[in-house]
Amino acid sequence: MRLEGKTAFITGSGSGLGREAAHLFAEEGATVVGADINLEGAEETIGRVEAAGQAGTALELDVTDADAVHAAIDETVAEYGLDIVLNNAGVSHQRANVEDIDEDERDRIIDVNVKGVWNGCHAAIPHFKEQGSGAIVNTASLAGVIGAPQLGAYSLTKGAVVNFTRTVAAEVGPHGVRANAVCPGVTDTAMPRENRTEEEWEATKAEMSKYYPLKRLGRPEDVANAMLFLASDEADWITGQALVVDGGFSCT
């Protein structure tokens, strides 16, 4: 198993990509600490982890609260040790042109998507440097690599995550620590389904799939597999990268 004996701290674990990653990391032998602002969702995720025979702990965590993130990381280190941090918690917004997105909404997106990743890295790096090892995986987006019309605030934050990840990698590399980002295309999770009925989503999915060379949108496991690879020792000489997982959309 690729993560046997390791501990992974995963934010946004209560649903979507975070939940899928938690399950996959556990299957590969990791002890999983699943954090989410929605404690019920995190507990459901960890319940499945434990049902599969792996150790896990669910935490209620607001990633915008730096003190709370530091406390959660410190507690994880004290109880389990720490080998992997997956800064996955994120939010988006309703499609709108830049001039129609108000400051409160912009700041909400920045607080979660940028400050949340900053806080996770800021809390984990001292521990990783002290032990001389560790893997950071940050969830960015295809929208952080190419333009995404009407997703201006979201694109702003995900572009920041990509470049911040490169900076972190350059700083911590000499200490044996790696940092990479995953940049998913549209993936079938709750975020793109928001405010759509099942029928509307299926129609949207069919239409969007036409623009992907592989003729389908992403599945959560597609992205979780990339996260697993970057977190594992198989990626031991890979750092500072933004791995695009998008079914070929960005090459068309």
Instruction: Return the active site residues.
Output: 154
* Helix (DSSP H) and strand (DSSP E) numbers for the chain: 9, 7
40 burial type by CB count under 10 A (0-12 exposed, 13-18 middle, 19+ buried): exposed
Nearest to 6 by CA among 76, 63, 58: 76
Q: Looking at residue 55, what DSSP letter applies? A: -
> How many Å apart are CA 233 and CA 215, to the nearest integer?
32
- Distance, C-alpha 25 to centroid of its chain: 13
Nearest to 125 by CA among 158, 171, 156: 171
Cβ neighbours of residue 102 under 8 Å, at least 6 residues apart?
none
